[in-house]
Amino acid sequence: MAMDKLYEFLTGPALWIAVIIFVGGLAIRVAWLFGLSQERDKPWHDFKSAVWAWRSIIHWVLPWASVSSRNQPGFTGAVWVFHICWIGVPLFLGAHNMLFEQAWGWSLPSLPDAVADWASMVVIACGVFFLVRRLARPEVRILTSAWDYTLVLLALAPFVTGWLAFNQYGPYGLMLNLHIFLSEVLLIVLPFSKLAHMVLFFASRSAIGYEFGTRRGARVW
Amino acid sequence: MTAEAQKAAEEAQEKATVSPEAEAPKPVNVGKIKTILAANEGARMRMWLSICSRCGLCADSCFFYLANDKDPKLSPAYKAINTIGKMYKAKGEVSREFLEECKEVVWGQCTACRRCSMYCPFGIDIATMIATGRAVCYSQGIVPDGLARTTENIRTTGNQMAMATEDWIETCDWMAEEYGEEVHGLEIPIDKQGADYMYTVNPREPMYYPQDVGMAAEIFHIAGLNWTMPSTGWDSTNLAMFAGDRAVATIPVKAMYDKALELGVKAIVITECGHAFRSAKFEGPYWVGIPGGEPPVPVIHSVELFRDIMREGKIKLKHKFEHKVTYQDPCNVSRNGGLWDIGRELVNLLCDDFVDMTPNREHNHCCGGGGGFIPMGPPYKRRRMASGKIKAEQIRATGATHVIVPCHNCFDQINDLNKEYDLKVKVVSFKEIITEIMEIPESMIPPEEDEQEAVLAEEEAKREVEEGAMEEAGEVQES
């Protein structure tokens, strides 16, 4: 019974709060940075160019499209697959879309459950690889703080718990609530941590594109 | 002195100069640090500080890291996080000891070559962060002596080597005379109103390598350019930029822009120097405060002008350069200047046997002498030689006998590497190659000595006639 009450709270007010903080936090942060940039990042605005922003972004969104990413091809591949699955699974999961349908009367296309199941395992496997890489490579280990490990674990947590719940491993009710709870924690932390690269990646890459490309005619990939 | 003895002496000097002084520590002016940090804390800096994912991809881009057994403390992210990152974290409340440690990182382990900025998946401009770290250290008087000296020279005299204007002009006159013996009619016009090109140099040219001035004059004269040397604003280098003193960095740039506007030239030409190009073309407009960030007069690098001259056939060659050459892409000409293809086009116009280094173009490694490292002098020489290993290996792998280098800092560094690593190459500038293989047009071949005397006599006679005429005119006026 307690689990049901918790579920109601987590999918009710808690979800609202998490989503508002997630969307609002990112929006406010971007708007605030944009305002600040007009005052203190003159070159950014003087050399704006859609072409160079696009070139700078696309060469780093596609895998192995930059020299740097080709230097560590395995890592690059893992990063790419990880990001696609990390975004794709929650949006196109059948179970999530049933909830969207219930709540709003519309939903996104659904992935077959087996595919989503595998994709979740890919996310977890990539995440474990990232953790091992962090520990194994001295130049990465030296940069990594406890918070960095925490964020990797937090980014994986919804997938681990979701996968366990879906496959009915462990106590289902607890796993489901944990899954929702950890996802909400993630949504709340995201705008205020380095995970905000979800949107700031595009701003930062545009800026370096203008700096090297528009201003100097030089490539950054 | 044997090589070992020299090395030991250098190391001893390094220790003596680099170790913190024994005197009582001066307090740190936290207010000043806060001001610098705030001025640089724009949207980009904030993003960079917060989104770095600690992926470590920048490490392999850095030649300091690669040359020193992949010491993780030399990875660009580590260097930035532990200098400027900590300064922001502490909100400027840092100790002098900490800043002394930062000094060894921001100057002693980084040449601001910006290769890491290009290799970061998020486009974090790590080199620019390090530059802010330099500004903070500099504001507390913590800076390598060599850069402090040159910055003081700029502040007091307007050029980094404290050369007097008369000496500069005298050097130009001397070179005009000297090179006039090879190319008849050669002049070095000073402050010529309405010239197309205003040529600016690195003070080490008039100070130590005046032939650079002469060779440039030869090239421009034979190519038939309408050009001039400025009497002020002739130093386009800017070591204050690398020292982190923006106020002083503005001085030579402003002088150069002002002179170019005064003379009404079409373009400012930068000598074969990398950081001068960066300062004059890209950073200068912001220091001077020009809206839009573009210089008031177009700024072009020698590589561009020489390429145009050769491509348009304004200079004919006796033959192509006969040796196997490779090309050093200076960071501030290629990666930070976008001129890698123009440099190669020029090499191919002059040479038949060209082999590129690997990596090359915008991916080329810094020589290890940039970012102020050369003027930082003997205390930093050992580590400059050690980190230059990457460049030395790149050059050796080409099998070239000549390295073409359109940058003074690269030039000195590769010369030093040549000795240190016994590369058996000759380091040359474009000017040297062009003047060696160019054809002097018949009309500019100086007359034989007898003829020369005859010409001189003729000129003398002409002058007398003119003087006579003037005197007469004067008499007429007086009467």
In this structure, the answer to whether residues B387 and B337 fall within a common structural domain is yes
CATH of the domain at B411: 3.40.50
pLDDT of residue B476: 44
In chain B, residues with a C-beta closer than 8 Å to the C-beta of A194 are 50-53
In this structure, the answer to whether residues B163 and B286 fall within a common structural domain is yes
Closest CA to B203 of B176, B229, B242: B229
CATH of the domain at B106: 1.10.1060
Burial category of B25 from C-beta neighbours within 10 Å (exposed 0-12, middle 13-18, buried 19 and up): exposed
User: Which of B43, B125, B362 minimises the CB distance to A211?
Assistant: B125
- The arithmetic mean of pLDDT across residues B9-29, rounded, is 60
Query: What would the CATH number be for the domain defined by A2-216?
Result: 1.20.950
Return the exposure string of A136-157: e unless at least 16 CB atoms fall within 10 Å of the residue's CB, then b: ebebbebbbeeebeebbebbbb
Cβ separation B118–A33 shorter than 8 A? no
Supply B363's token pair.
């991916």
Cβ separation B337–A216 shorter than 8 A? yes
Q: Name the residue of chain B whose CA is nearest to A64's CA.
A: B121
Residue the block writes with tokens 């992210």: B77
| Residues of chain B numbered 274-303 and touching chain A (CB < 8 Å) | 282, 286, 292-293
Residue the block writes with tokens 């002083």: B248
Per the domain annotation, does B459 fall within a domain? Answer: no
In this structure, the answer to whether residues B170 and B86 fall within a common structural domain is no
User: pLDDT over 90 for what percent of chain B?
Assistant: 87
Show the CA angle centred on residue A38, arms to residues A35 and A40, nearest 5°.
105
pLDDT tens digit sequence for B30-44: 999 999 999 999 999
pLDDT tens digit sequence for B279-327: 999 999 999 999 999 999 999 999 999 999 999 999 999 999 999 999 9
Q: Is the pLDDT of residue B422 over 90?
A: yes
pLDDT tens digit sequence for B190-246: 999 999 999 999 999 999 999 999 999 999 999 999 999 999 999 999 999 999 999
Element (H, E) at B327: strand B325-327
> Is there a contact between B417 and B424 (Cβ–Cβ < 8 Å)?
no
Cβ separation A34–B293 shorter than 8 A? no
CA B172/CA B207 separation, integer angstroms: 11
Cβ separation A46–B292 shorter than 8 A? yes
How far does A108 lie from chain B, in Å, by closest CA? 30
In chain B, residues with a C-beta closer than 8 Å to the C-beta of A139 are 56, 59, 65, 70, 72, 75, 78
Cβ separation A217–B362 shorter than 8 A? no
User: Which segments within B183-314 are labelled E, that is strand?
Assistant: 197-200, 227-228, 267-270, 299-301
Q: Name the residue of chain A whose CA is nearest to B291's CA.
A: A46
pLDDT tens digit sequence for A164-177: 999 999 999 999 99
pLDDT of residue B455: 66
Q: Name the residue of chain B whose CA is nearest to A62's CA.
A: B121
CA B145/CA B379 separation, integer angstroms: 9
| DSSP class of B72 | G
Per the domain annotation, does B467 fall within a domain? Answer: no
Domain holding B334, by residue range, is 325-437
Q: Is the pLDDT of residue B16 over 90?
A: no
In this structure, the answer to whether residues B272 and B343 fall within a common structural domain is no
- The arithmetic mean of pLDDT across residues B77-91, rounded, is 98
pLDDT of residue B23: 55
Show the CA angle centred on residue B325, arms to residues B319 and B328, nearest 5°.
130
Element (H, E) at B64: helix B63-67
Q: What is the ipTM of this complex?
A: 0.95
In this structure, the answer to whether residues B302 and B172 fall within a common structural domain is yes
Per the domain annotation, does B100 fall within a domain? Answer: yes
Cβ separation A143–B54 shorter than 8 A? yes
User: Which of A56, A139, A220 minimises the CB distance to B75?
Assistant: A139
User: pLDDT over 70 for what percent of chain B?
Assistant: 90
Percent helix, strand, coil in chain A (nearest 5)? 85, 0, 15
Peptide bond into B359 cis (omega under 30): yes
**Residue B447 confidence class, pLDDT cut points 50, 70, 90:** confident
Q: Is the pLDDT of residue B460 over 90?
A: no
pLDDT of residue B1: 45
User: Which of B42, B65, B77 minimises the CB distance to A36?
Assistant: B42
Q: Is the pLDDT of residue B479 over 90?
A: no
Closest CA to B50 of A191, A150, A68: A191
Cβ separation A218–B81 shorter than 8 A? no
| Best B37, B48, B50 residue to mutate vs chain A (most A CBs within 10 Å) | B50
B77 touches chain A (CB under 8 A): yes
In this structure, the answer to whether residues B296 and B193 fall within a common structural domain is yes
pLDDT tens digit sequence for A133-182: 999 999 999 999 999 999 999 999 999 999 999 999 999 999 999 999 99
- The arithmetic mean of pLDDT across residues A192-201, rounded, is 97
In this structure, the answer to whether residues B235 and B258 fall within a common structural domain is yes
In this structure, the answer to whether residues B187 and B242 fall within a common structural domain is yes
Q: Name the residue of chain A whose CA is nearest to B289's CA.
A: A42
| Residues of chain B numbered 340-399 and touching chain A (CB < 8 Å) | 359, 362-363
Cβ separation B54–A56 shorter than 8 A? no
Neighbouring C-beta atoms of residue B199, cutoff 10 Å: 26
pLDDT of residue B478: 42
User: Which of A68, A137, A142 minimises the CB distance to B61?
Assistant: A68
How far does A33 lie from chain B, in Å, by closest CA? 5
Q: Name the residue of chain B whose CA is nearest to A131's CA.
A: B55
Cβ separation A36–B57 shorter than 8 A? no
Q: Is the pLDDT of residue B449 over 90?
A: no
Cβ separation B78–A37 shorter than 8 A? no
Into how many domains does chain B fold?
3
Q: Which residue has the higher pLDDT, B24 or A28?
A: A28
Closest CA to B284 of B259, B252, B261, B330: B252
- The arithmetic mean of pLDDT across residues B424-446, rounded, is 96
pLDDT of residue B461: 73
**Residue B457 confidence class, pLDDT cut points 50, 70, 90:** confident
Per the domain annotation, does B167 fall within a domain? Answer: yes
Q: Which residue has the higher pLDDT, A29 or B16?
A: A29
- A176: helix, strand or coil: helix
Per the domain annotation, does B80 fall within a domain? Answer: yes
B335 touches chain A (CB under 8 A): yes
Average confidence score pLDDT of chain B? 92
Per the domain annotation, does B5 fall within a domain? Answer: no
Closest CA to B191 of B281, B274, B255: B255
Cβ separation B293–A71 shorter than 8 A? no
Q: How far is CA A106 from CA A15, A99, B197, in A?
A: 18, 9, 67
Given CA atoms B391, B396, B400, B402 in this order, what sign does their dihedral have?
positive
Q: Name the residue of chain A whose CA is nearest to B72's CA.
A: A139
Cβ separation B81–A143 shorter than 8 A? yes
Q: Is the pLDDT of residue B337 over 80?
A: yes
Supply B357's token pair.
């280094």
B73 touches chain A (CB under 8 A): yes
- B351: helix, strand or coil: strand
In this structure, the answer to whether residues B380 and B245 fall within a common structural domain is no
CA B116/CA B125 separation, integer angstroms: 8
B59 touches chain A (CB under 8 A): yes
Q: Name the residue of chain B whose CA is nearest to A210's CA.
A: B123
Cβ separation B48–A37 shorter than 8 A? no
Q: Is the pLDDT of residue B477 over 60?
A: no
In this structure, the answer to whether residues B201 and B275 fall within a common structural domain is yes
Q: How far is CA B430 from CA B149, B330, B352, in A?
A: 30, 13, 14
